[in-house]
Amino acid sequence: MPSIGPISRRKLIKYLRKLGWDGPDPGGKHPAMTKGDVTISIPNPHGHDIDRGLLLTILAEPGIDRADWEALK
């Protein structure tokens, strides 16, 4: 179960794929993942984890519910 806290980019992509997102595909400044017509940017923290605030922003863009995120295995 992923927590709402620092997370590696690799794990973020893994959990988003479990929620049905495709990608990441190259584009713009950051790679993007898509689900239907919705696209979200995936940051590259250059060797560091994605912090809690940025994770919450990423999850809020497409409306991913915190309970759905924490229920992942």
**DSSP for the chain?**
---SS-B-HHHHHHHHHHTT-EEEE--SSS-EEEETTEEEE----TTSPBPHHHHHHHHHTTT--HHHHHT--
Domain extent at residue 5: 1-23+49-73
Per-residue pLDDT of the chain (73 residues; tens, 9 = 90+): 677 889 999 999 999 999 999 999 887 788 999 999 999 999 988 889 999 999 999 999 999 988 889 898 7
Left if phi > 0, otherwise alpha if psi is -120 to 50, otherwise beta: which for 47? Answer: left
The pLDDT of residue 2 is 76
Is 16 a domain residue? yes
The pLDDT of residue 5 is 84
Is 40 a domain residue? no
The pLDDT of residue 1 is 61
Is 1 a domain residue? yes
Work out how many domains the chain is built from and give that number: 1
